[in-house]
Amino acid sequence: MSKEKEYYKVSGDKLLTKIKQIIKEGNARKIIIKNEEGKKLIEFPITIGAVGVLAAPLIAAVGAMAALLTNCQIEVEKKAVKK
């Protein structure tokens, strides 16, 4: 099984919307948000339990971060793909 990664470049005002979309798709294992220079700002795992219980505080933290960022990169580690 291999890990698949996807990368998105978004502006700060679109960050929260994109994170919610990624979580809703349900196939992400981990989300990493980096600034324009590629420095990791926050990293959080996405598990089935975390989506319901921990989503609200994570969304609040991402929303606060979005207000401070002009552009950022989202790295999404997807669930392993069986070949």
8 Å CB contact between 78 and 29: yes
pLDDT, position 68: 79
Q: Which residues contact 12 (CB under 8 A, 6 or more apart)?
A: 66, 67, 68, 69, 70, 71, 72
Check the CA dihedral 47-52-54-58 and report its sign: positive
Structural domain 5-78, CATH architecture: 2-Layer Sandwich (3.30)
pLDDT, position 8: 95
pLDDT in tens, 25-69: 878 889 999 998 999 988 888 765 555 555 677 777 888 877 778
pLDDT band at 70 (very low <50, low <70, confident <90, very high): confident
pLDDT, position 34: 93
The ranges assigned to domains in the chain are 5-78
pLDDT, position 67: 77
pLDDT > 80? residue 7:
yes
pLDDT > 70? residue 83:
no
8 Å CB contact between 19 and 55: no
CB atoms < 10 A from the CB of 58, how many? Answer: 17
